[in-house]
Chains A and B, each alone.
Chain A
Amino acid sequence: MRHFILGAAALVAAAGLVTTAHAQGRRAARDPDAPAAPRVTLADLDGIVERLRGDDLDAVREAIDLLTIIDRPEVVPHLAALIRAGQPDAITDRAIGALERVAEPSAIDVLTELTRHRRAGARRRAYGALAAIADPRVRPLLEQGLRDSDRSVRGAAALALGTIGARESLDLLFRAFERNVIEAAIAIGKLGDARAVERYHGFLGSEPLGVMLSGYDAFLRRDDVPVETKKAIVERLGEVAGVQVRRFLQEYLGHFPERIRDRRQNELKVLVEQTIARIPESGAGVRVGGGS
């Protein structure tokens, strides 16, 4: 049980890293509920850049934030120069965050450099920032992140591939999953088709159940996955059974609306209910991969 909780928590946290960053990217600055941001425009750029060059780290941080508010391609060179000039960790990380918010393709070069930074945190953030940029150059860079020696970087890269919808990377994600990049399960769940589900089933028993459920969760929540495929997943989970699966299915059941007009969706819901009913509330079930 503890294993599952830890694994699930890690996955949720890891997923949150990218999805939150992604969501916060261009949208957060425009959140109507957020405190009113200072009014800065491109005309203020020179003054802000001057502050970037100062010795006062607080002023530098503020300047970075102001550049984020400007949110124009013109700020990228200044942020890149700031990063390349070598900064304390906090400044570097903030500048990477700013690049993520700006999400401009012109930032790809400096972010690529940062994917080779010696500090794993910087690399991880760089992959997150890259994922926010809609550019064909991003996917190969994220794939490269799967080869990183640091597991948190590999995880961030895997999640980012799922986030940007890099279906072409599915094989590589499976390979990463085989090499214990557990975050790849979520990405596979976000990207895989029915064949991928079959392939994913193959990891049942060899990977912790908590990790497997994170992938199944991603599969089941997608609208583009056929109901038949989802039913196959539920049936397979029913074979596995166990408290962990029961709890997972109960949570999944909560996502269904009270009344479902779609017949096939209804069949899926019924199947989930039946599966839950078949699984004893405690004790019984097949232990898979030490996940429960």
Chain B
Amino acid sequence: MTSRWTLVASVALVGCVGATQKPAFGYRFADNQAADVASVAAALPAAHAPRVSNPSGEPLVVSVTHGEAPRVVALGLDGAERWEASVAAMTRPEVLGDVVLTSDRENVVALDARDGRVLWRRPLGPLAYVGGTRSGGAIIYVTSVGAGGGATRVGDVRAVDARSGSALWSYEIAGTLGRPAARGAFVFIPWDRQNVAILEIATGLEKARLRTTDDVIAWVADHPSGIYYGANGVYRFDTNSHAGTRRGQTHRPPPVTDLPRDPMVADDGFFPMPGTRSARGRIRVYFAPEGTTEGRIDARGGRFYFVYFRYVMAYDDEGALVWVRMLDEDVIQAEAVASGLFTVGEQGSFRVLDRETGNDRWTGGAERELASAGLDLGGFDPAGEPGEPRPLKLALAEMAGDADNRLVAARAYAIEQLGAIPEPDVTGLLLDLYAQRSVPGALRETISTVLRQREVGVELLVEALSSRYDYLDERPSPPLDLLVPALLEQRRTDAVSGLVAHLLDHETPLAVLGLVARAIVELGDASVVPALQAFLVLYHADSSFAQNAEPLAVVAEGIFRHGGEEGRAMLTALRANGRVLANVSTAIEELFTSEAQRADARARALAEAEAEAAAAAAAAEREGRPMRLSQAQINGVFAEQTEGLRACFEAELERDPRFSQLRVVFILENTGIPTDIQYAPSGAELVGCLEPVVSALRFPPFRQRRQRGTFTVTLRGGEDTTAAAPTDRFWWSRAERLASDGPIGRPWWEVRQAPARGPAAPPPSDPTPPSTAPPTQGGGAGQPWWLEGEQPPQQQPPQQQPPQQQPPQQQPPQQQPPQGGSPWWLADE
């Protein structure tokens, strides 16, 4: 059967069109099938307690020694060798029950876990051994190449008899395969970082396939509590695993997201784990999943452990840092146990770091140079007295100040964690760290960044300014390049005096002097001006600043800003001094120039703003104008020129006693200026009199471009009445208005006098004789004369004038009231 499946797979690989579905890894296999996943999940063994798998029944550490003749050794927890095998292992040994599986340069090598003798070897060919797993009597191992890129991507998985190595089945695919994990009757094989093929071990048939669409699957692992897979985050295999996305599956995101080098919670299953000393695998998050609570994957002991070479950091379930520990040797392998983290050091020591304190809860092992190790700890959980926890801030500071420059990234991380602790004295710890000469520049930058962000303990930064350089006491200058930006950031004005002292201190390095001066200028006020002046005066011609005059320029700026007129006068005088350094002179000149430019810019901006405001106001005013003027508005404007008009009317009446009406028609521009003014009657004297008066009228502006305007004055006998055209546009509207407002049914003569000089006027009911007296004699103080005496609505023409009340025939046609009783002027309108 083995040969047949291999053959089928090979045929598919070379591109033949196979009508038969491959038994595993076929591209037509339906992935993320709920039924498939459910059937596998149902068939998996239940969770069990951790137990040792090797036949000795004791925890075992199987290591590859480091040195000229590496060998595989099985170590008890006391460090004593249980057996050794002269195998130049290139990959980390794995304890698979009674077999230890590893590889040398040419073969996969199976050792007897009882005595280390070689049970079988199988050639690797061009592939690299990635890892193996075991269930029952079968070992399934994977060799692969191409996970790191390159043209060749081949994966090979083989099931063999654990003790004899005889083949059961195998597949070779054009893709990368990762370290498998077996549980019960199934083996889970990660494939191309996106899939997990679930094969039945007994038959080699693929029973289900998982495919993720929004994540990467970099490893699969079998834990006592179940099968887990993932990359940075963790998925638990269960009936939800068919979802294909994080959201639908039982998933726990990375416990801590900002760790240096972005480590995974398991070794990358697609790469061989080196048997020799290597950086691979030295940076990892360790945790042991222990089932789920309310859908969340639990970590054994409630801890995640981040190992970075010889640094260990522990986090609680919420991702909060609990403790950090620096070991004196790199950790080559570790495993989370209930009471802490079991570690194997490259010098042969075994430890359990207490989950609560990070202190040694248990130690074992023996001094021996080790390169890699496979663990079979079972439920090892030692009792011990770990002692009191070391304060986290001190441990972090110690880590940050460690001299191991391989670990700068982790030290920077420690500094960030330290900076996040809201205790004032942490600021002092950070300052002490910064003062250490061995601290690399990258860490100094981190400290600087952290300090700028800290809001507690800032007073320590101010205090640090009081320190001074002393050669004999070996006391360096305070780290001004660190302190000053932080003080500026925090706007600590109480630091000004200390900053001034450093400005005047010759030990302040020139490189930071400008920064110090800048801080004084930004944080200080007029009180700093004398010191700034003294400084500038003393050095304005000195060669100390010939190459770098920035500090003097900043000092000059401070005097310019805070010194008032006196300060500016001093700068002007200094600039006039022929001995001043050229660059200082230029800087001072620029201060004045730039101020003038700023003033110009401000003035321009102000003018523009005013213009914009004016334009906006004009626009608003235009928007507020009426579309066109009403007759009442036109009348109102004429009313304001009553006296001028009166004189013309009186003169015309003297010339022509029959003069009874004036009509003015004009074009009114929207600016309010009347043009094309026509008068009726249009006698030269009358027009000559009226023209200057009417032309000078200024009407309210309106939005429409122009409109036609009229103004009519009717001179009546007796009391003068005006005949300003009412605003009613239609005759019926006026009729309606009058009908509603006036006394209905009364003869018009009862409500209005007949025209004084109108022919055939009906006998007035009012005994008042007609008069040509000036209209000022009428009543209504403050009204124009032609409005005086008008008593609306009684004096309005009646709504329903009887036929006999029509004006006589000799009346000008335009004065005839229209049919229906509308006033005569409406007809003209």
Chain A residue nearest in CB terms to B476: A149
Q: Hey, which chain B residues are within 8 Å of A274, CB to CB?
A: none
Contact yes or no, B472 A118, CB < 8 A: no
> What is the bound-complex CA distance between A92 and B543, given in angstroms?
11
User: A257 within 8 Å of B by Cβ?
Assistant: no
Give the residue of A88, A147, A149 whose beta carbon is less than 8 angstroms from that of B542: A88
Q: How many residues of B contact A (CB 8 A)?
A: 23
Rounded to whole Å, the gap between the CB of B565 and the closest CB of chain A is 21
Contact yes or no, B472 A88, CB < 8 A: no
Contact yes or no, B579 A154, CB < 8 A: no
B341-380 CB contacts (< 8 Å) to partner A: none
User: A43 within 8 Å of B by Cβ?
Assistant: no
Give the residue of B472, B504, B510 whose beta carbon is less than 8 angstroms from that of A175: B472
Of the candidate stretches A62-70, A79-87, A100-108, A216-224, the one touching chain B is A79-87
| Contact A86/B541 with A116-B505, A118-B506, A149-B471 known, Cβ cut-off 8 Å | yes
Give the residue of B473, B506, B543, B544 whose beta carbon is less than 8 angstroms from that of A116: B506
User: B732 within 8 Å of A by Cβ?
Assistant: no
Q: Hey, which chain A residues are within 8 Å of B471, CB to CB?
A: 146-149, 154, 179
B532-584 CB contacts (< 8 Å) to partner A: 534, 536-544, 578-579
> What is the bound-complex CA distance between A47 and B549, given in angstroms?
35
Q: Hey, which chain B residues are within 8 Å of A132, CB to CB?
A: none
Q: Hey, which chain A residues are within 8 Å of B538, CB to CB?
A: 84, 86, 117
User: B507 within 8 Å of A by Cβ?
Assistant: yes
Chain A residue nearest in CB terms to B539: A86
User: B470 within 8 Å of A by Cβ?
Assistant: yes
Q: Hey, which chain B residues are within 8 Å of A258, CB to CB?
A: none
Rounded to whole Å, the gap between the CB of A94 and the closest CB of chain B is 14
User: B730 within 8 Å of A by Cβ?
Assistant: no
Per-residue contact bits, chain B 300-331, to A (CB 8 Å; 1 contact, 0 not): 00000000000000000000000000000000
Contact yes or no, A88 B504, CB < 8 A: no
Q: Hey, which chain A residues are within 8 Å of B578, CB to CB?
A: 55
Q: Hey, which chain A residues are within 8 Å of B579, CB to CB?
A: 55, 57, 86-88
User: A119 within 8 Å of B by Cβ?
Assistant: yes
Q: Hey, which chain A residues are within 8 Å of B470, CB to CB?
A: 147
Contact yes or no, A92 B504, CB < 8 A: no
Chain B residue nearest in CB terms to A56: B578
User: A99 within 8 Å of B by Cβ?
Assistant: no
> What is the bound-complex CA distance between A179 and B470, given in angstroms?
12
Q: Hey, which chain B residues are within 8 Å of A116, CB to CB?
A: 504-506
Give the residue of A118, A154, A179 whose beta carbon is less than 8 angstroms from that of B539: A118
Chain A residue nearest in CB terms to B472: A147
> What is the bound-complex CA distance between A146 and B471, given in angstroms?
7
User: A272 within 8 Å of B by Cβ?
Assistant: no
Contact yes or no, B472 A146, CB < 8 A: yes
> What is the bound-complex CA distance between A147 and B472, given in angstroms?
5
User: A141 within 8 Å of B by Cβ?
Assistant: no
* Chain A interface size range: 20 to 34
> What is the bound-complex CA distance between A87 and B505, given in angstroms?
19
> What is the bound-complex CA distance between A57 and B538, given in angstroms?
17
> What is the bound-complex CA distance between A84 and B542, given in angstroms?
12
> What is the bound-complex CA distance between A92 and B539, given in angstroms?
11
> What is the bound-complex CA distance between A146 and B474, given in angstroms?
12
Rounded to whole Å, the gap between the CB of A2 and the closest CB of chain B is 27
Q: Hey, which chain B residues are within 8 Å of A225, CB to CB?
A: none
Chain B residue nearest in CB terms to A92: B542
Q: Hey, which chain B residues are within 8 Å of A146, CB to CB?
A: 471-472
Rounded to whole Å, the gap between the CB of B473 and the closest CB of chain A is 7
User: A176 within 8 Å of B by Cβ?
Assistant: yes
> What is the bound-complex CA distance between A116 and B502, given in angstroms?
11
Q: Hey, which chain B residues are within 8 Å of A149, CB to CB?
A: 469, 471, 507
Per-residue contact bits, chain B 508-534, to A (CB 8 Å; 1 contact, 0 not): 001000000000000000000000001
Rounded to whole Å, the gap between the CB of A54 and the closest CB of chain B is 10
Q: Hey, which chain B residues are within 8 Å of A154, CB to CB?
A: 471
Per-residue contact bits, chain B 467-491, to A (CB 8 Å; 1 contact, 0 not): 0011111100000000000000000
Q: Hey, which chain B residues are within 8 Å of A172, CB to CB?
A: 472
A140-170 CB contacts (< 8 Å) to partner B: 146-149, 154
Contact yes or no, B472 A123, CB < 8 A: no
Contact yes or no, A117 B543, CB < 8 A: no
> What is the bound-complex CA distance between A86 and B542, given in angstroms?
7
Q: Hey, which chain B residues are within 8 Å of A175, CB to CB?
A: 472
Contact yes or no, A86 B472, CB < 8 A: no
User: A89 within 8 Å of B by Cβ?
Assistant: yes
Contact yes or no, A176 B543, CB < 8 A: no
> What is the bound-complex CA distance between A55 and B541, given in angstroms?
13
| Contact A119/B543 with A86-B537, A149-B507 known, Cβ cut-off 8 Å | yes
Rounded to whole Å, the gap between the CB of B768 and the closest CB of chain A is 103
> What is the bound-complex CA distance between A70 and B413, given in angstroms?
68
Rounded to whole Å, the gap between the CB of A194 and the closest CB of chain B is 25
Contact yes or no, A118 B542, CB < 8 A: yes
Rounded to whole Å, the gap between the CB of A58 and the closest CB of chain B is 13
Per-residue contact bits, chain B 45-75, to A (CB 8 Å; 1 contact, 0 not): 0000000000000000000000000000000
Q: Hey, which chain A residues are within 8 Å of B536, CB to CB?
A: 86
> What is the bound-complex CA distance between A175 and B539, given in angstroms?
33
Q: Hey, which chain A residues are within 8 Å of B544, CB to CB?
A: 118-119
> What is the bound-complex CA distance between A176 and B474, given in angstroms?
11
Chain B residue nearest in CB terms to A123: B506
Chain B residue nearest in CB terms to A57: B579
Contact yes or no, A86 B540, CB < 8 A: yes
Contact yes or no, A89 B472, CB < 8 A: no
Q: Hey, which chain A residues are within 8 Å of B505, CB to CB?
A: 116
Q: Select the residue from B472, B540, B578 with max chain A CB neighbours within 10 A.
A: B472
A157-195 CB contacts (< 8 Å) to partner B: 172, 175-176, 179
Rounded to whole Å, the gap between the CB of B543 and the closest CB of chain A is 5
Q: Hey, which chain A residues are within 8 Å of B504, CB to CB?
A: 116
| Contact A147/B540 with A116-B505, A117-B506, A118-B506 known, Cβ cut-off 8 Å | no
A–B complex contacts, Cβ < 8 Å, 5 sampled = A55-B579, A87-B541, A88-B542, A119-B543, A149-B469
**Residues on B close to A: CB < 8 A?**
469-474, 504-507, 510, 534, 536-544, 578-579
Known contacts A86-B540, A116-B504; 15 additional CB pairs below 8 A are A84-B538, A85-B537, A87-B579, A88-B541, A89-B543, A92-B542, A116-B505, A118-B506, A118-B542, A119-B544, A149-B471, A149-B507, A154-B471, A179-B471, A179-B472
Which 10 A-B residue pairings sit nearest by Cβ, starting from the closest?
A118-B544, A118-B506, A86-B537, A147-B470, A86-B538, A86-B540, A88-B541, A89-B543, A147-B471, A119-B544
